[in-house]
Structure 1
Amino acid sequence: MQQPTMDWVAQARALASQAHAGQQDKAGQPYIEHVARVAAAIHDDDMAKAAAWLHDVVEDCPQYAAQVQAFPAPIRDTVSLLSRHTAADADQYYARIRQHPPALKVKLADIADNAHPRRLLQLAPAVADRLRSKYAAALVALGGQRAATATPATATTRLLQLMDAARTLAALANEPEVTAGSGQDAPHPRQAALLAVCEVVRAEVEAQMTPETFVIWSDMYVQP
């Protein structure tokens, strides 16, 4: 008689719930809620979904690391890649994830949830700004797709500068002194000019990122 297939997603969910019990995120919410949202974002790939449940267990709850080793190799390997202590530095960490589709899928879901305005607006402005910069850099590392014109470091710096410029232009375009005089049918010429430049910069950012990472970056600055 054929043995039933182990439900690894359910096993991963149970272990994550046990490992993260009592933990809170930066906003004071149960940490497992973040993990659950990341797992819910993974579709049509049970190995990746199980890894999503476990993605912070080894790094944040090392006392449960041995239990993660009981999972199949595809799950273990993905969780290992998502655990920062297995990489020499951030560049290696993101480079390895970028080359591993299941790990990339989970990491993008992780960043998308962490960077969601719903969560960032619960934090002090300085903390939220620091995290936005951190997540923007991560998205560039995972989804920047244009070949470097000089060196990879220069290309990364230029893309981050473009992303920062787009954000600054959008903020300036909505300042009261710029929007004063705007009507329902048309913005003030000053606002229209800023928005036009902002769209040019955003288009350049979009051209240099994968669609998935561009959407996550764009959503970081949308008011919920």
Structure 2
Amino acid sequence: MDWVVEARTLACEAHAGQQDKAGLPYIEHVARVAAAIHDDDIAKAAAWLHDVVEDCPQHAARLEVFPAPVREIVTLLSRHSAPDAQQYYARIRQHPRALKVKLADIADNAHPRRLLQLPPAVAERLRGKYAAAPAALGTASTSTDVPDPAAARAAVDGDLTHVGAAGRGCRRRCQQRRRRARSAPAGADQRT
């Protein structure tokens, strides 16, 4: 089974209709994080799923079909896994794959392109939050290449013909959600 494709499909379904603070489809953030992970299918699958437990608890039980290493990373990346930020970052710091995904997540969340799309006060708050995170994780910086938005859309919409109807269905659903999100009224379900 291709766990990356399965993870992408679940992520598309779980984050359906969610928007980030800029009003863009939230799945594009998830796709950029996954696209930043190379040569490690376990970490890439976890990257697709990194916000499912925290943001889509109704889908959390569906993670049971994934291999234990994927579930372990997703659990570590969930803020529910530790009572405070210090313990949260300490746990991630001890797990190389979780650290790789978290650094990609931070790199995308803190990317100037994303921050420029936000109201100045929100951007400044997030800039401060994400500036301190690499040090808490024991690294000097995120230094993760974050794909541009077009690459994220390609990751979500990519050619999934090799995975059959389930993959094509995910592609269509993600495209439909993106179109709806662009025309959604202000105040829709928004995330960062």
Q: Normalised by the size of structure 2, how large is the TM-score?
A: 0.73
Equivalent position SS for 1:113: helix
Q: Which amino acid is the alignment partner of residue 24 of structure 2?
A: Q
1:57 is aligned, of 16, 27, 52, to 52
Match runs of 1:36-115 below 5 Å: 36-115=31-110
Match runs of 1:210-221 below 5 Å: 213=141, 215=143
The residue that corresponds to 2:28 in the other structure is 33
Q: Which amino acid is the alignment partner of residue 102 of structure 2?
A: K
Return the offset for 1:143: 2.6
Write the distance in 2 (CA, Å) between the matches of 1:65 and 1:122. 30
User: How far does the alpha carbon of each residue in 1:20-46 deviate from its partner, in whole angstroms, 9 at most, with x for none?
Assistant: 010000100000001001000000100
Contact 2:92 2:99 in 1 (8 A): yes
Write the distance in 2 (CA, Å) between the matches of 1:214 and 1:66. 30
Matched, 1:10 2:5: yes
Return the offset for 1:136: 1.1
Q: Which amino acid is the alignment partner of residue 49 of structure 1?
A: K
Write the distance in 2 (CA, Å) between the matches of 1:215 and 1:113. 11
The percentage of counterpart residues that share the same residue type is 78
- Tell me, which stretches of 5 or more residues in structure 1 are unaligned? 1-5, 145-208, 217-224
Write the distance in 2 (CA, Å) between the matches of 1:14 and 1:65. 14
Write the distance in 1 (CA, Å) between the matches of 2:114 and 2:128. 15
Match runs of 1:68-217 below 5 Å: 68-144=63-139, 209=140, 213=141, 215=143
Work out which structure has the larger RCO, using CA pairs closer than 8 Å and 6 or more positions apart in sequence.
2
The residue that corresponds to 1:150 in the other structure is none
User: How far does the alpha carbon of each residue in 1:122-159 deviate from its partner, in whole angstroms, 9 at most, with x for none?
Assistant: 11111111101100121110135xxxxxxxxxxxxxxx
C-alpha RMSD of matched pairs (Å): 1.1
Q: Which amino acid is the alignment partner of residue 34 of structure 1?
A: H
Write the distance in 2 (CA, Å) between the matches of 1:48 and 1:215. 17
Write the distance in 1 (CA, Å) between the matches of 2:33 and 2:48. 7
Write the distance in 1 (CA, Å) between the matches of 2:105 and 2:57. 19
Matched, 1:20 2:33: no
Q: Normalised by the size of structure 1, how large is the TM-score?
A: 0.63
Q: Which amino acid is the alignment partner of residue 19 of structure 2?
A: Q
Q: Which amino acid is the alignment partner of residue 53 of structure 2?
A: V
User: How far does the alpha carbon of each residue in 1:61-104 deviate from its partner, in whole angstroms, 9 at most, with x for none?
Assistant: 00000001221000000000000011111100000001100000
Equivalent position SS for 1:69: helix
